[in-house]
């Protein structure tokens, strides 16, 4: 056992309102500068939809992340390291600027400076790349709130295989939001892809960074990252990425995206894990076992043996304490309501998500039954407006069972709390159906609903 | 697994060697490289994060968020902003307010240094040249120079027709201020002060900035234009039913609800900082419902999506009411509901039924003066409503009606304590008889009226046939009771019977079974939780012409189930509702009530309806709006407005067709006092109201100033009519004027309609907008990160501050400083041209004063026709006289005037003695030396004004709140002052708000209580302390018996469909396809990327959206006319043209398009293929439509106050043709 500490994040998608405040505050703080106009370290995608860059999840096209070879060894999907070295001067697997978007501005000055003329003046869009007038046809958030729509939805890679379950018709509309930052993976493909050794993982907190002095701009990291969360700065010629706001977290304040999250859905905390176990876990044969395998890598900070090993590994006492109190640990390990994004990429991502529950009662409305009864709720989950298969494609390599477990816990929590809200005694049978105790369920409720600042970070 | 590893042994070896060439530590499995310490390669991010200071501020216009922000400054430059997280706690067992904010607010700092920033003063070049030349020609007097331009029709036409077409040139502050001041002086002198107007939107989010121009203009005698009604955000149902403008729960109170319906309110988008309360309350077991025509953002969170057809919400609410009333009021009774309604609603109030030529009609409230009861001859006997006491079987007159609110006899009796009286909700069991009463329904095609008769149980009191409001309601809602005659709904499935669930299904597309279930769930929840059911009302239901009826139907649901006045219960109207928590201090400072009373307050909808000549395009009569009950037969809407004006119901500026200063001079010359002189002149017909001849030049509005406002790019309903008639520039109006048989007959109707009525348009702003584009003068304003001000909202109980992160850059100034400059120059120029003048001020009969008792039984009598005598304050507006020393305007603006100590303050009918407070303010702000304000507290700086606002309000000054409650106690006889006593010694100062958001104090200025740290919910004081509502009955009123309400068929809530634009204006019927495209409903909901704290031109928001004007439409409509996503489209109707790009999604319902609100014409708008001119804004396709019932006045809660009641600038009933653009896209 080799204990290491990792800063991690959980986002509760059930609370995300899709407001993009996180994107804007992050952009303002970090990427609002020349060469980075098209870059959003944090972006929010409406799902179903194409995402940013367009169809980033289509690894058949982009070849990001790792694949497990027949011999059980991992290799970068874009090709082994030999291939990387041989192809270093021509990297064909890069999203083009059109896949991100051509950033633009406007000739705003015209509004004030126009001489007297025939028409009311207007500010036209100008490309920030060429400086010339342009037509805006795509952006980092083009399909916002469309719910997919006929034109874009069917091209969502997550629809593949469940086309019969997703109809882009008024009556069947559904959507939810997926905010994304760098995953700060335990097994980062970007780092492994870098021929210059410029990408590293900070030993004390696991934040993945690009050394701006060492980066030579090969862009292999951009190909290697299956989440497409490493970006190329067109001015400096170097790669840049989300830094988990290390200048902030180092002094004890949360990342910009978290602290400014109006939905109050982001949790930051420390996870202890066994660094020696990562590669084995990332190499399990079946894609659908990966998420459980990753959970198996995490160490219980309550375990005296883990504490001892952590101390031996040089992890300070207050960090171990932080790991014990970590809300992220509670959500991932204790309540088991958070799931990783695309475990099948085998990078062991460390930004996890609670899948969205609602709307749920919608589907039982025709029955005339008490929609809050947990029996009805559980039945309803199988026919959610958001197809559970879609969520499974995002979080569990297509296995619907773990997603269902989480949704049932959320539904049970609502059902259990209804009694308490009405001044009645809580019904212990309800948490029991999802394998939880009353106290545990109440604590989960407090963490998810009341979610005080001090409890989120 | 033993053979894990990478690639192949060769690769392993190669990669492995890297370990020897780096100082970094490579993991044993060579998977990752770790580095500790050093990291010079990443110092860039540390540098980027470093900053010099963080300043607290917020965002200042129209945003209910009122979020506190951290503004980061580095090297004297604002870098970015992020939310503050230091709000006081909402409680240990509740979520917190932090981190309030949204992406719009988060990108505001872009404006500071943006290329659209206005850095210097600008003037329209052609006007500036004329002004400079004129000044030279007339020997240097700026006032004479201005006169020489505007009096010359050619010159005037030249600069007016150039409006909006570029050609702004830089000038100096000195020159611009002189020009603006000269124009004001000239206009006061030539036409009178009420030909000047100012508009600045909702003050709650920067009351000092609002007060700047408002204080100046009110001192001059110029009206301020309202905003709440103009935005169509004012729900007239609120004054109608509660006698209150609007009072709503803070968002933290959503948490307390057991059942939450979001009805036309897309919370994540429009109430972004508050939405978390909804998502989190679900975890508490709250059930959440979304009623929305499209799959809006909030639907994602709802347990159920109720996909109601646009504008059909009233039918849904009526059907829910049908189920609720039938099952819980007719078929069975619930004690909780019975108790509540006896005390707090008018359900038991008696109503007289009148037998007319067509049968029995719903009549007037029975009042003490009608009856042989002991109170018959008491004071205000005609204003005391009656009930039937079920203990005695006799009529009783309970306390609490408006008759007890005024006069000597009512002391201690204006309360809801029923004493021994047990009011009967129904007379069904004790009825003497049952009569068939006529009830209107409007659900026929086109919305015309059909009457049905249904039986109502009655009692006979002498000759009088009476019943209760509940009995009327049951019949009106079509709920059969054994033994009552008439044609009744046979079941919930009876689709032909009005108000049944099956009937509603046909109109709303919501399944009847869902309606029934929702009604039952709602009711059971109310019983289970003691009234903790809440409905969030939104713009989706409030912006319709008949929104008051939709609201009333919904308020039935929240009220009869005992949910109003509860934490976690009742209505939560979230449409532009902005709570200036320290409202009393604000009103007195902003409207200069410390110097002159009354102020001139104008309802803006009527102002523009008249002054942009939109009434000329009413190709229908007022009788088409009541849909044929005949009450308005032969009248135009303008006739009704003129009547409302001359009876003193609604304000009207310019008031008379002569200057209000000249009238005083004439009176003097005639040897009369001004008021009797004006009355005599009116009576004789010598003097007319300006509204009776609006196209005559003496009645034009001459000067308009905008600050914190983009009227021409945003709120101007009928935008193109503004451009045509007000500004005199290019426009896209193609509508026809009314044919001879549809014209109002009571006003002058010249054949020629003037264009370019306005002489001077001034805008103060920090960015370019349509308003600055069209302005003659543009002044550079400080942004929200460059000045001091206050911020409050309904949505949280705090007051917090704006503070300058940097000084106003370039030549920009704060609004307060800019208006001070103008006031100073104005005062100087006034020495030669104005001096001291007497001003005759006409003001409407005010709510919360005895003036509201002008119209007994709401029976309308017109002095013009000789039915009554013209009496100021009764059958005429109140006429008051003001002495205005125009040379002292600046002195008055910058000091607190003497009326505070001499007269005190009055807010919502509650008096306050403020001698002590004025003295404290002298010490806090310092004392003015010399001039008109000698010895008075200073108002030199924005902080002075902020401190005055806070100190003169009970919400920030515990002593005042307690004093106010003690004064109310005298009237109510119930205990109240303990509500604020816990904070009696607390005085919130501006300095306090700079440190942290500060919780406010419970005050009589509002109806709810924060005492003891509870979340704010409205009407809790009424319910818990038996304080009456400010209505005629003193109760929450379902029944409205004014003549016009009867004539409109709206005594009780009734479903009225959206206006039929084909019938009224000849627009293509909905759904029809022609060579011009397909006809669709045209709605303008709020835009995710440009609402409230933010505007559409911000580059961050444009980058996250489609980067220009867009129209959302369904794929089904798009298919009909061959439109694909991002295609250029044109939307055209008689009002104007929009050239935008399409967003096509299946989340939109067929038959309806959305052009989101506030999409200005500045960003990427091409020339249209329709007329070759620049495309319009979202309001280019709308126009003003006045609903007659909104201009009722002089009757209880139907009495005017600023932004309290009035015609709404509703905009949802419009339709348009939409088609794909075929001509190439050109910009010039």
Query: B646 to each of B488, B634, B676, B845, B1168, how far by Cα in Å?
Result: 43, 19, 16, 11, 43
Residue with tokens 């180092």: A250
Residues in B closer than 8 angstroms to A146, CB to CB, are: 1143, 1145, 1147
Mutate one of B283, B304, B727 to test the A interface: name it (highest A CB count within 10 A): B283
Mutate one of B39, B103, B291 to test the A interface: name it (highest A CB count within 10 A): B103
pLDDT at B16 over 80: no
CB within 8 Å of chain A, chain B residues 1121-1150: 1124-1126, 1143-1150
Q: Which two tokens stand for residue B45?
A: 């991010």
Residues in B closer than 8 angstroms to A449, CB to CB, are: 95, 280-281, 283-284
Q: Quick check: A383 contacting B, CB < 8 Å?
A: no
ipTM of the complex: 0.96
Task: Report d(CA B157, CA B647) in Å as an integer.
Answer: 37
Cβ-Cβ contacts under 8 Å between A and B: the total is: 408
* pLDDT of res. B860: 97
Q: Which of B99, B1100, B1167 is facing A27, going by the closest CB pair? A: B1100
pLDDT in tens, B798-849: 999 999 999 999 999 999 999 999 999 999 999 999 999 999 999 999 999 9
Q: Quick check: A234 contacting B, CB < 8 Å?
A: no
Strands (E), B1145-1181: 1152-1154
Residues in A closer than 8 angstroms to B1166, CB to CB, are: 122
**Residue B25 Ramachandran class (φ > 0 left, ψ -120 to 50 alpha, else beta):** beta
pLDDT at B14 over 50: no
pLDDT at A382 over 80: no
- DSSP-derived secondary structure for B917-970: HHHHHHHHH-B--SSTTTTSBB--SHHHHHHHHHHTSTTTBHHHHHHHHHHHHH
pLDDT in tens, A129-162: 999 999 999 999 999 999 999 999 999 999 999 9
pLDDT in tens, B331-389: 999 999 999 999 999 999 999 999 999 999 999 999 999 999 999 999 999 999 999 99
* pLDDT of res. B578: 83
Residues in B closer than 8 angstroms to A168, CB to CB, are: 1115, 1146
Question: Which architecture does CATH list for A265-456?
Answer: 2-Layer Sandwich (3.30)
**Residues with Cβ within 8 Å of residue B868, at least 6 apart in sequence:** B861, B862, B875
* pLDDT of res. B20: 40
Q: Which two tokens stand for residue A433?
A: 């159906």
pLDDT at B458 over 80: yes
* pLDDT of res. B388: 98
The runs of H, that is alpha helices, within B235-312 are 237-242, 267-270, 275-283
- B750-774: average pLDDT: 97
Return mean pLDDT, chain B: 95
* pLDDT of res. A377: 57
The runs of H, that is alpha helices, within B577-723 are 583-590, 604-611, 637-646, 660-669, 674-684, 719-721
Confidence of residue B876 (pLDDT cuts 50, 70, 90): very high
Task: Report d(CA B55, CA B80) in Å as an integer.
Answer: 11
Task: Report d(CA B651, CA B880) in Å as an integer.
Answer: 14
- B520-535: average pLDDT: 97
Query: B652 to each of A345, B574, B657, B837, how far by Cα in Å?
Result: 70, 29, 11, 21
Residue B1024 C-alpha, separation from nearest chain A C-alpha, in angstroms: 21
Residue A304 C-alpha, separation from nearest chain B C-alpha, in angstroms: 25
- CB contact (8 A) between residue B295 and residue A174: yes
* pLDDT of res. B32: 61
Dihedral angle of Cα B917, B919, B923, B924, to the nearest 10 degrees: 20
Q: Which residue of B has its CA nearest to A147?
A: B1147
Note every long-range contact of B33-36, with CB atoms under 8 Å and residues 24 or more positions apart, other chains counting: B33/A191, B33/A197, B33/A199, B33/A200, B33/A201, B34/A200, B34/A201, B34/A202, B34/A203, B35/A200, B35/A201, B35/A202, B35/A203, B35/A211, B36/A202, B36/A203, B36/A204
Confidence of residue B25 (pLDDT cuts 50, 70, 90): low
CB within 8 Å of chain B, chain A residues 53-92: 71-76, 80-82, 85
Domain annotation for chain B: domains and CATH numbers:
9-44 (no CATH), 122-233+584-625+652-846 (3.40.50.12770), 247-321+502-573 (3.40.228.10), 1061-1220 (2.40.40.20)
* pLDDT of res. A89: 67
Residue B697 C-alpha, separation from nearest chain A C-alpha, in angstroms: 28
* pLDDT of res. A78: 84
Helices (H) and strands (E) in chain A, counts: 21, 14
Return mean pLDDT, chain A: 93
* pLDDT of res. B33: 62
- A358-378: average pLDDT: 54
pLDDT at B710 over 90: yes
- A170-193: average pLDDT: 96
Burial class (CB in 10 A: 0-12, 13-18, 19+), B469: buried
pLDDT at B445 over 90: no
pLDDT at B624 over 50: yes
Q: Which of A332, A352, A335 is closest to A394 using CA atoms? A: A352
Residue with tokens 């058949």: A60
Cβ distance A407 to A377 under 8 Å? Answer: no
Residue B276 C-alpha, separation from nearest chain A C-alpha, in angstroms: 5
Residue with tokens 């019969």: A164
pLDDT in tens, B94-152: 999 999 999 999 999 999 999 999 999 999 999 999 999 999 999 999 999 999 999 99
pLDDT in tens, A75-89: 999 887 667 666 766
* pLDDT of res. B63: 86
Q: Which of A17, A146, A201 is facing B1147, going by the closest CB pair? A: A146
**Residues with Cβ within 8 Å of residue A200, at least 6 apart in sequence:** A191, A208, A209, A211, B24, B32, B33, B34, B35
Q: Which residue of B has its CA nearest to A173?
A: B1147
pLDDT at B39 over 90: no
Burial class (CB in 10 A: 0-12, 13-18, 19+), A86: exposed
Q: Quick check: B160 contacting A, CB < 8 Å?
A: no
Dihedral angle of Cα B747, B748, B751, B753, to the nearest 10 degrees: -80
pLDDT at A367 over 90: no
Task: Report d(CA B938, CA B588) in Å as an integer.
Answer: 15
* pLDDT of res. B37: 52
pLDDT at B19 over 60: no
Q: Which two tokens stand for residue B1022?
A: 């009424």
* pLDDT of res. A365: 46
CB within 8 Å of chain A, chain B residues 719-738: 730
Residue B31 is classified by DSSP as S
Q: Which of B1160, B1153, B1155 is closest to B1177 using CA atoms? A: B1160
Q: Which of B299, B1097, B1099 is facing A359, going by the closest CB pair? A: B299
Q: Which of B662, B659, B660 is closest to B697 using CA atoms? A: B659
Q: Which of B11, B1146, B1167 is facing A150, going by the closest CB pair? A: B1146
- B654-671: average pLDDT: 98
pLDDT at A259 over 60: yes
Q: Which of A154, A46, A365 is closest to B307 using CA atoms? A: A365
Confidence of residue A366 (pLDDT cuts 50, 70, 90): very low
Considering just the CA atoms, what is the radius of gyration of chain A in Å?
23
Q: Which two tokens stand for residue B990?
A: 């501006």
* pLDDT of res. A373: 59
Mutate one of A17, A81, A364 to test the B interface: name it (highest B CB count within 10 A): A17
pLDDT in tens, A273-332: 999 999 999 999 999 999 999 999 999 999 999 999 999 999 999 999 999 999 999 999
* pLDDT of res. B627: 83
pLDDT in tens, B898-940: 999 999 999 999 999 999 999 999 999 999 999 999 999 999 9
**Annotated domain spans of chain A:** 265-456
- B979-987: average pLDDT: 96
């Amino acid at each position: 056992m080799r204990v290491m500490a990792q800063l991690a994040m959980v986002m509760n998608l059930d609370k995300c309102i899709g407001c993009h405040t996180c994107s804007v505050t992050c952009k303002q703080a970090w990427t609002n500068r020349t060469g980075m106009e098209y870059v959003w370290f944090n972006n929010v995608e409406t799902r179903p939809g194409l995402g940013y860059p367009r169809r980033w999840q289509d690894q058949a096209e982009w070849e990001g992340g790792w694949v497990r070879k027949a011999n059980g060894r991992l290799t970068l999907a874009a090709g082994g390291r030999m291939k990387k070295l041989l192809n270093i001067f021509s990297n064909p697997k890069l999203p083009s600027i059109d896949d991100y978007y051509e950033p633009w501005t406007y000739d705003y000055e015209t509004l004030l400076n126009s001489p007297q003329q025939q028409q009311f003046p207007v500010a036209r869009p100008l490309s920030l790349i060429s400086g010339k007038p342009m037509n805006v046809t795509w952006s980092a958030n083009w399909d916002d709130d469309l719910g997919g729509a006929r034109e874009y939805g069917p091209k969502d890679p997550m629809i593949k295989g469940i086309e019969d379950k997703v109809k882009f018709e008024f009556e069947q509309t559904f959507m939810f939001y997926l905010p994304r930052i760098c995953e700060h993976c335990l097994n980062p493909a970007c780092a492994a892809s870098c021929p210059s050794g410029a990408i590293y993982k900070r030993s004390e907190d696991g934040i993945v960074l690009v050394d701006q002095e060492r980066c030579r701009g090969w862009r292999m990291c951009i190909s290697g990252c299956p989440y497409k969360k490493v970006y190329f700065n067109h001015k400096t010629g170097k790669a840049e990425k989300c830094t988990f706001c290390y200048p902030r977290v180092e002094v004890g304040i949360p990342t910009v995206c978290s602290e400014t999250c109006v939905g109050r859905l982001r949790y930051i905390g420390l996870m202890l894990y066994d660094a020696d176990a990562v590669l084995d876990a990332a190499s399990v044969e079946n894609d659908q076992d990966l998420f459980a395998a990753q959970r198996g890598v995490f160490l219980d900070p309550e375990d005296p043996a883990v504490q001892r090993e952590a101390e031996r590994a040089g992890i300070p006492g207050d960090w171990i304490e932080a790991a014990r109190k970590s809300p992220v640990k509670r959500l991932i390990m204790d309540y088991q309501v958070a799931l990783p994004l695309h475990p099948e990429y085998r990078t062991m991502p460390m930004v996890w998500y609670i899948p969205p529950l609602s709307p749920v009662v919608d589907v039982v409305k025709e029955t005339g039954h008490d929609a809050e009864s947990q029996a009805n709720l559980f039945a309803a989950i199988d026919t959610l407006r958001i197809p559970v298969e879609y969520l499974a494609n995002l979080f569990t390599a297509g296995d619907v069972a773990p997603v269902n477990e989480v949704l049932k816990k959320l539904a049970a929590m609502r059902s259990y709390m209804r009694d308490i809200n009405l001044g009645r005694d809580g019904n212990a049978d309800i948490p029991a159906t999802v394998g939880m105790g009353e106290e545990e369920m109440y604590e989960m409720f407090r963490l998810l609903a009341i979610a005080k600042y001090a409890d989120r970070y | 697994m033993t053979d894990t590893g990478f690639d192949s042994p060769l690769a392993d070896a190669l990669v492995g060697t890297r370990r020897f060439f780096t100082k970094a530590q490579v993991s044993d499995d060579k998977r990752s490289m770790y580095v500790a310490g050093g990291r010079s390669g990443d110092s860039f991010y540390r540098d980027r994060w470093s900053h010099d200071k963080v300043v607290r501020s917020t965002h200042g216009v129209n945003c209910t968020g009122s979020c506190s922000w951290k503004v980061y400054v580095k090297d004297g430059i604002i870098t970015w902003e992020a939310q503050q997280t230091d709000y006081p706690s909402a409680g240990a067992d509740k979520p917190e307010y932090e981190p309030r904010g949204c992406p719009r607010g988060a990108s505001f700092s872009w404006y500071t240094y943006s290329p659209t920033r206005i850095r210097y003063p600008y003037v329209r070049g052609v006007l500036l040249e004329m002004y400079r030349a004129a000044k030279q020609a007339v020997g240097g007097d700026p006032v004479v120079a201005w006169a020489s331009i505007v009096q010359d029709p050619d010159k005037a036409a030249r600069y007016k027709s150039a409006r909006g077409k570029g050609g702004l040139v830089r000038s100096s502050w000195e020159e611009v201020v002189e020009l603006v001041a000269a124009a004001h002086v000239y206009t006061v002198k030539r036409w009178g002060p009420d030909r000047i107007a100012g508009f600045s939107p909702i003050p709650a989010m920067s009351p000092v900035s609002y007060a700047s121009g408002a204080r100046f203009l009110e001192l001059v005698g110029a009206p301020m234009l309202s905003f709440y009604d103009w935005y169509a955000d004012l729900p007239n149902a609120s004054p109608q039913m509660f006698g209150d403008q609007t009072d709503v729960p803070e968002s933290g109170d959503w948490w307390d609800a057991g059942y939450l319906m979001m009805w036309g309110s897309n919370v994540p988008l429009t109430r972004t900082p508050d939405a978390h309360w909804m998502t989190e309350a679900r975890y508490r077991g709250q059930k959440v419902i979304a009623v929305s025509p499209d799959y809006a953002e909030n639907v994602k969170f709802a347990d159920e999506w109720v996909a109601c057809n646009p504008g059909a919400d009233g039918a849904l609410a009526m059907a829910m009411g049908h189920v609720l009333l039938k099952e819980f009021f007719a078929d069975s009774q619930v004690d909780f509901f019975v108790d509540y309604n006896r005390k707090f609603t008018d359900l038991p109030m008696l109503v007289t039924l009148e037998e007319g030529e067509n049968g029995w009609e719903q009549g007037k409230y029975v009042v003490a003066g009608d009856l042989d009861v002991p109170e018959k001859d008491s004071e205000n006997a005609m204003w005391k409503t009656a009930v039937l006491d079920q203990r005695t079987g006799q009529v009783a007159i309970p306390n609490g009606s408006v008759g007890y609110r005024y006069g000597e006899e009512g002391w201690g009796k204006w309360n809801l304590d029923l004493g021994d009286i047990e009011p009967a909700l129904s007379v069904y069991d004790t009825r003497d008889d049952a009569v068939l009463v006529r009830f209107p329904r409007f659900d026929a095609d086109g919305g015309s009226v059909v009457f049905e008769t249904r039986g109502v149980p009655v009692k006979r009191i002498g000759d009088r046939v009476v019943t209760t409001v509940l009995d009327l309601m049951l019949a009106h809602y079509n709920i059969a009771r054994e033994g009552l005659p008439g044609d009744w709904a046979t079941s919930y499935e009876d689709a032909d019977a009005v108000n049944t669930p099956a009937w509603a299904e046909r109109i709303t597309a919501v399944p009847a079974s869902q309606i029934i279930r929702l009604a039952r769930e709602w009711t059971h929840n109310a019983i289970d939780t003691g009234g903790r059911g809440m409905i969030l009302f939104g713009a989706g239901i409030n912006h319709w012409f008949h929104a008051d009826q939709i609201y009333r139907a919904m308020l039935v649901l929240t009220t009869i189930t005992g949910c109003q006045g509860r934490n976690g219960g009742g209505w939560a109207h979230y449409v532009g509702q902005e709570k200036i928590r320290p409202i009393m201090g604000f009103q007195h400072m902003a409207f200069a009530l410390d110097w002159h009373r009354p102020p001139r307050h104008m309802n803006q909808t009527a102002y523009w309806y008249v002054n942009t000549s939109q009434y000329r395009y009413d190709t229908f009569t007022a009788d088409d709006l009541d849909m044929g009950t005949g009450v308005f037969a032969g009248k135009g809407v303008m006739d009704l407005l003129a009547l409302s004006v001359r009876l003193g119901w609604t304000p009207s500026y310019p008031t008379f067709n002569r200057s209000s200063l000249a009238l005083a001079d004439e009176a003097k010359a005639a040897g009369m006092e001004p008021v009797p002189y004006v009355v005599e002149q009116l009576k004789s017909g010598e003097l007319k109201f300006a509204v009776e001849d609006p196209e005559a030049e003496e009645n034009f509005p001459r000067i308009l100033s905008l600050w914190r406002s983009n009227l021409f790019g945003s709120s101007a309903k009928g935008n193109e009519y503004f451009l045509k008639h007000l500004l005199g520039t290019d426009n896209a109006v193609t509508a026809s004027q009314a044919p001879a048989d549809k014209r109002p007959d009571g006003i002058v109707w010249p054949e020629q309609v003037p264009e370019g009525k306005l002489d001077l348009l001034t805008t103060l702003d920090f960015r370019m907008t349509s308003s600055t584009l069209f302005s003659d003068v543009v002044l550079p304003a400080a942004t929200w990160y460059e000045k001091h001000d206050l911020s409050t909202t309904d949505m949280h109980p705090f007051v917090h501050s704006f503070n300058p992160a940097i000084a106003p850059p370039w030549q920009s100034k704060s609004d307060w400083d800019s208006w001070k400059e103008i006031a100073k120059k104005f005062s100087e120029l006034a020495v030669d041209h104005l001096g001291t003048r007497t001003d005759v001020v006409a003001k409407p009969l005010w709510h919360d004063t005895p003036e509201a008792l002008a119209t007994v039984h709401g029976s309308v009598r017109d002095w013009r026709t000789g039915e009554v005598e013209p009496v100021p304050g009764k059958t005429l507006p109140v006429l008051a006289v003001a002495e205005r020393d125009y040379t002292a305007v600046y002195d008055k603006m910058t000091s607190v005037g003497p009326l505070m100590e001499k007269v005190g303050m009055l807010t919502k009918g509650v008096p306050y003695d403020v001698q002590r407070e004025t003295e404290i303010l002298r010490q806090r702000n310092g004392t003015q030396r010399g001039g008109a304000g000698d010895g008075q507290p200073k108002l030199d700086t924005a902080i002075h004004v902020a401190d005055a606002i806070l100190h003169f309000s009970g919400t920030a000054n515990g002593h005042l709140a307690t004093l106010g409650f003690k004064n109310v106690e005298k009237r109510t006889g119930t205990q109240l002052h303990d509500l604020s006593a816990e904070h009696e010694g607390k005085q919130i100062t501006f300095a306090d708000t700079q440190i942290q958001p500060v919780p406010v104090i419970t005050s009589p200025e509002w109806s709810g209580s924060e005492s003891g740290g509870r979340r704010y919910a409205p009407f809790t004081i009424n319910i818990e302390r038996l304080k009456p509502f400010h209505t005629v009955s003193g109760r929450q009123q379902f029944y409205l018996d004014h003549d016009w309400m009867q004539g409109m068929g709206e005594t009780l809530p009734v479903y009225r469909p959206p206006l039929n634009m084909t019938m009224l204006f000849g627009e293509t019927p909905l759904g029809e396809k022609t060579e011009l495209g397909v006809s669709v409903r045209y709605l303008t909901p709020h835009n995710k990327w440009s609402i409230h704290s933010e505007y559409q031109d911000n580059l961050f928001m444009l980058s996250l959206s489609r980067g220009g004007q867009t129209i959302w439409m369904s794929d089904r409509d798009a298919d009909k006319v061959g439109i694909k996503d991002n295609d250029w489209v044109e939307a055209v109707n008689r009002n104007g043209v929009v050239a935008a790009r399409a967003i096509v999604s299946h989340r939109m319902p067929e038959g309806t398009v959305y052009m989101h609100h506030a999409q200005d014409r500045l960003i990427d708008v091409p020339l249209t293929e329709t007329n070759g001119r620049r495309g319009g804004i979202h309001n280019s396709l709308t126009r003003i439509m006045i609903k007659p019932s909104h201009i009722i006045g002089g009757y209880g809660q139907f009495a005017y106050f600023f932004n309290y009641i009035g015609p709404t600038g509703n905009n949802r009933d419009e339709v348009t043709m939409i088609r794909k653009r075929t001509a190439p896209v050109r910009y010039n």
